[in-house]
Amino acid sequence: MIELQGLTKTYGDKTVVSDISLRVERGEFSVLIGPSGCGKSTTLRMINRLIPLTQGRILLGDEDVTRLPAEQLRRRIGYAIQSIGLFPHWTVADNIAVVPNLLKWPRARIASRVDELLDLFHLDAGEFRDKYPHQLSGGQAQRVGVARALAADPEVLLMDEPFGAVDPLTREVLQNEMRRVHEQTGTTVIFVTHDMDEALKLASRIALLDAGRLVQYDRPIELLTAPAESFVSDFIGKADLGLKLLSRRWVHQYQQAATMSSEAPHHWETDAQGHPTCLHGGRPTTDVAPSVAVTDDWTATPGMTMKEALSRMVWYRVGVLPVIDDAGRLVGEVTLEGVMGRQP
Amino acid sequence: MMSALLRPERRRDALLPLLTVLLVALVLFMGRLEPLFHAAFPQLETAVYARESFWRLTLDHLVLVLVSSLISVSVGVAAGLFVTRRTGREFEPLVSALAAIGQTFPPAAVLAIVVPLAGFGFVPTIVALTLYGLLPVVQNTITGLRTVPADTLEAARGTGMSARQILWRVELPLAMRVIIAGVRVSVIINIGTATIGSTVGAQSLGTPIIAGLVGDNIAYVIQGAVLVGLLAIVSDLAFERLERRYRIGGEASA
């Protein structure tokens, strides 16, 4: 648990962060978001005191860390930034091991922790341990950057637009990975971004800031459905509110049993292993073939957002998607009617 | 492709031991070349400088260069470090200007000023060489530390390193190559410049050169100059190797 109490930063008579109080529960993924210059990065950097605070208190657990020496505090708080800032003269392993080394962990424990983290990010330890930062792709370097921030099992992980500088495809992959890593490690995260879709995808709580002021701190769904003031809905953007809602809905919430009876308006055909092979019916218009072979592209998985599932339905012109498990077996279906039938 | 890139380096690698052997041989056995110099300059009474042995002269020369470089490097690096810290930031223009003045002041002029104060010989020569060698060290130290990327420093602070740890573990290793390049320039300049110490009575490889110029003995001048030149080339090659060691982890070795 980390709690900010009345965090304030002024430069001369200019107030950039004004009396921000919020509490991030253990294991929560909290996103600070807002237009540029709203003070979100400043707030984040005050937490590990890269920027000294003008006023306020910070509690880590039950401990007031406002007066703790900055270096000691930082070793308890992970920090990942957009530009990554890997140490170019050190190997991947040395980079990850920075904080454990500062904390004087025994060598063997450091080595096994490095391998464990590389493994967590699906980087082959044998291949990557001894590489230098300039030998990594942008996505790999960012993974190492996050691994470094997580190395000493920090009480909080601060991330400052960590995926802002990578290409959209890699960003998507990294976001998915971040969700998985967060679920696996249960680390408390405070994440800064200006991208609402990223916030909706990752956050369990969103703090919306404007001009140094905390406008609303809530679960994403409340931000969408119960904005505290007009600035909130303006910032989220009303145009695709429906799709944004669906980006916080998961396939497993809409999933129903797969229709196998040939009497029904649509039904599935599966092979001996239970993989869906063909859909009969289920097409919303008559200008397309009544039966269609199932390909990997238009299946859904339980962990997929409904936004993506809906997008696939539209693209492949089907009213129903097969939901498959990790082995590719048919475990259910999601339908267009199902999406329409359920609202928050 | 790698081998093609490596080749010039390999050639220079072979040059270093070769020239070192040549240098040592000339220092020890210059006397044996007397017939050669006699044949070239038959009008000269003595064709090889013999008032002092060449190894003695070389040793004195090296001591001049080493002592002055040691002072230049310690003062220069310390000044460069100071002005790149938060407390010394305002002094950077001053320090850079002072170092530049040291460089633009001709060593001969420094000698002219220092000799009346400190007498003849070793001391004024050291003062002149130290001042002269200061600029490249100061400048490269500042440049080297300035080129450490800001995000690397931010990350270093974010991990909880102290200022001292950041300096020793991050800034200096990353700046080392540029700093050594500055030391290299400074030392090479001083190997050449140390010869003028002989005009104020400091013994060096400049001694036979001055004697040759005064006594109209071209062979003396050649002997001193060749040794100084070789010494400079050998040191330069040695520094090049040292610099290469500080190439940042696994960088392409071209």
Query: Can you give the CATH number for the domain in which A69 is found?
Result: 3.40.50.300
Are residues A255 and A129 located together in one domain of the fold? no
Q: Locate A274 and state its tokens.
A: 């239970």
Could you tell me if A216 and A258 lie in one domain?
no
Is the CB of residue A73 less than 8 Å away from at least one CB of chain B? yes
- Per-residue confidence (pLDDT) for residue B9, from 0 to 100: 64
Q: Report residue B192 as tokens.
A: 């050449």
Which of A72, A98, A134 is facing B159, going by the closest CB pair? A98
Give the pLDDT of residue A244. Answer: 83
Per-residue pLDDT tens digits for A273-308: 889 999 988 887 777 778 888 887 889 999 888 988
> For chain A, what is the domain count?
2
Whole-number pLDDT of residue A247: 84
Q: What is the mean pLDDT of residues B87-113?
A: 84
Grade residue A225 by pLDDT with cuts at 50, 70 and 90.
confident
- Is the confidence at residue B250, as pLDDT, over 80? no
Domain identity same for A84 and A182: yes
Percent of chain A scoring above 90 in pLDDT: 63
CB contact under 8 A, B165 and A102: yes
Cα–Cα distance for residue pair A98/B210, rounded to 1 Å: 58
Instruction: Give chain B positions within 8 Å (CB) of A68.
Output: none
Q: Are A71 and B161 inside 8 Å of each other by CB? A: yes
Minimal Cα–Cα distance from B174 to chain A, Å?
Answer: 7
CB contact under 8 A, A88 and B161: no
Cβ of A84 and B151 within 8 Å? yes
- A244 is a domain residue: no
- Checking ipTM against 0.85, whether it exceeds it is no
B156, HSE (Cβ side, Cα atoms, 13 Å): 22
Question: Does the pLDDT at position B252 exceed 50?
Answer: no
pLDDT value at position B253? 38
A61/A153 same-domain check: yes
Q: Cα(B249)–Cα(B177) distance, rounded to whole angstroms?
A: 12
Put simply, the chain A residues between 144 and 173 with a CB less than 8 A from any chain B CB are 145, 148
Q: Do B250 and A98 touch (CB under 8 A)?
A: no
Best A98, A110, A132, A161 residue to mutate vs chain B (most B CBs within 10 Å):
A98
Exposure string for B54-92, b = 16+ CB within 10 A, e = fewer: beebbebbbbbbebbbebbbebbbebbbbbbeeeeeeeb
Given CB atoms, is A22 within the 8 Å cutoff of chain B? no
Q: Is the pLDDT assigned to residue A31 strictly greater than 80?
A: yes
How distant is the Cα of A89 from the closest Cα of chain B, in angstroms? Answer: 5
- What pLDDT digit, counting tens, does each position of B184-210 carry? 999 999 999 999 888 888 889 999 999
Of A195, A216, A238, the last residue of a domain is: A238
Closest CA–CA distance from residue A104 to any residue of chain B (Å): 12
Query: Which residue has better confidence, A27 or B105?
Result: A27
A34: in domain: yes
Q: Suggest the residue from A44, A77, A87 to mutate for an interface test with chain B (most B CBs closer than 10 A).
A: A87
- Between A204 and B200, whose confidence is greater? A204
Q: Which of A21-35, A242-256, A274-288, B9-23 has the highest mean pLDDT?
A: A21-35
A60 and A205, same domain (yes or no): yes
In a domain, A335, yes or no: yes
Q: What is the mean pLDDT of residues A24-53?
A: 94
CB contact under 8 A, A87 and B155: yes
Question: How far apart are the C-alpha atoms of B25 and A279, rounded to whole Å?
Answer: 90
Question: Considering A203, A238, A273, which residue would you say is the last residue of a domain?
Answer: A238
Q: Taking Cα atoms as reference points, which of A67, A85, A241 lies closest to residue A165?
A: A85
CB contact under 8 A, A71 and B160: yes
The count of CB pairs under 8 A between chains A and B is 74
| Edge-to-edge strand ranges of the sheet holding A188-193 | A77-81, A156-160, A188-193, A29-33, A205-210, A213-218
As a whole number of angstroms, the distance between CA B78 and CA B91 comes to 13
Q: Note the pLDDT tens digit of each residue in A55-97.
A: 999 999 889 999 999 999 999 999 999 989 999 999 999 999 9
Q: Between A235 and B248, where is the model more confident?
A: A235
The answer to whether B165 contacts A91, with C-beta atoms less than 8 Å apart, is no
A49 assigned to some structural domain: yes
Predicted local confidence at residue B102, as pLDDT? 76
Residues A221 and A109 in one domain: yes
Per the rule left: phi > 0, alpha: psi between -120 and 50, beta: everything else, B201 is: left
Residue A153 belongs to some domain of the structure: yes
Same domain (yes/no): A219, A275: no
Q: Chain-centre distance of CA B153, in angstroms? A: 31
DSSP state for residue A274 in the 8-state scheme:
S
Evaluate if residue A201 carries a pLDDT over 70.
Answer: yes
Length of chain A measured in residues: 344
The residues in B 127-166 lying below 8 A from A, measured between CB atoms, are: 149, 151-162, 165
pLDDT at position B27: 87
Q: Are residues A132 and A18 in the same domain?
A: yes
Which pLDDT tens digit goes with each residue over B32-41? 888 888 888 8
pLDDT for B1: 43
pLDDT value, residue B8: 63
Same domain, A210 and A304: no
The single residue listed with the structure tokens 């104060």 is B117
Using CA atoms, how far apart are residues A4 and A47, in angstroms rounded to an integer?
Answer: 8
**Helices (H), ranges, chain A:** 40-47, 70-74, 92-96, 98-102, 107-120, 125-128, 138-150, 168-185, 196-202, 220-225, 230-236, 241-246, 251-254, 306-316, 336-341
Section A107-130 average pLDDT:
95
| The pLDDT of residue A344 | 42
% of chain A at pLDDT higher than 70: 99
Amino acid present at A108: A
Question: Taking the alpha carbons of A119, A121, A122, A123 in that order, is the dihedral positive or negative?
Answer: negative
B162 and A71 within 8 Å at the Cβ level: the answer is yes
Which residues have C-beta within 8 Å of that of residue A9, sequence separation ≥ 6?
A15, A16, A17, A39, A42, A43, A46, A51, A53, A54, A212
pLDDT tens, position by position, B106-162: 888 888 888 888 788 888 889 889 988 898 999 999 999 999 999 999 999 999 999
Structural domain span for residue A192: 2-238
pLDDT at A262 over 80: yes
Report d(CA A342, CA A115) in Å as an integer: 44
Residue A243 lies in a domain: no
pLDDT value of residue B154 = 93
A255/A234 same-domain check = no
Provide the shortest C-alpha distance from residue B188 to chain A (in Å). 28
pLDDT at position B6, please? 55
Contacts of B129 (CB under 8 A, 6+ apart): B64, B65, B68, B69, B72, B107, B190, B193, B194, B197
Rg, C-alpha atoms of chain B: 22
Closest CA to B85 of B12, B155, B198, B171: B171
Do A209 and A304 lie in one domain? The reply is no
Q: In this structure, are A163 and A54 located in the same domain?
A: yes
Contact state of B159 with A86 under an 8 Å Cβ cutoff: no
Show the domains of chain B with their CATH numbers: 53-245 (1.10.3720.10)
CA dist A165 to A35, A138, A174, Å? 17, 9, 12
Is A324 a residue whose pLDDT tops 80? yes
At position A330, the amino acid (one-letter code) is: L
Mean pLDDT of B64-71: 95
Is A245 within a domain? Answer: no
Mean residue pLDDT of chain A comes to 91
The pLDDT of residue B7 is above 80: no
Average pLDDT, chain B: 87
Q: Which of A238, A265, A283 is the last residue of a domain?
A: A238
CATH at A300: 3.10.580.10
C-alpha A240/C-alpha A81 separation (Å) is 30
- A-chain CB neighbours of B152 within 8 Å are 85-88
Residue B249 pLDDT level (bands cut at 50, 70, 90): low
Amino acid at B155: A
Residue B160 to residue A73, Cβ atoms within 8 A: yes
Q: Which of B151, B174, B249 faces A85 most closely, judged by CB atoms?
A: B151
**pLDDT at position B70, please?**
96
Please say if the pLDDT value at position A164 is more than 90: no
Q: What is the mean pLDDT of residues B220-239?
A: 93
